[in-house]
Amino acid sequence: SLSCLPCAQSTQYGTCSLRKMSAMEALELLDQLVDESDPDVDFPNSYHAYQTAEGIRRAHPDKDWFHLVGLLHDLGKVLALFGEPQ
């Protein structure tokens, strides 16, 4: 059932034993992904992350935690490179 899917993923990925990487390594890895939600974009996915973080920084200069969230918001998509559906 779908309700068990989060439990299975938590078991599979929760230990972080498949692969460890820094946030910057994950951002670079995202550049290998063709995002199904935007397949004809001709710039790297990491560029989108930097654009988002910069836009948030300009709009909310006092919320440094929010800048970081903008940078990291798509990192989970790297799982598609390891067989997870987008």
49-67 pLDDT per residue, tens: 999 999 999 999 999 999 9
Angle among Cα 26, 40, 35 to the nearest 5 degrees reads 30
SS3 content of the chain, % helix, strand, coil (to 5): 60, 0, 40
Summary mean pLDDT of the chain: 86
Residues 42-47: what's their mean pLDDT? 89
| Cα of 70 vs its chain's centroid, Å | 10
State the Cα–Cα distance between residues 73 and 66, nearest whole angstrom.
10
Binding site for Fe cation: which residues? Answer: 48, 73-74
pLDDT for the residue 6: 66
Binding site: which residues? Answer: 48, 73-74
State the Cα–Cα distance between residues 5 and 84, nearest whole angstrom.
12
Band (7; pLDDT cuts 50, 70, 90): confident
- Quickly tell me which residue has 């935690």 as its tokens: 65
Q: Is the pLDDT of residue 77 over 60?
A: yes
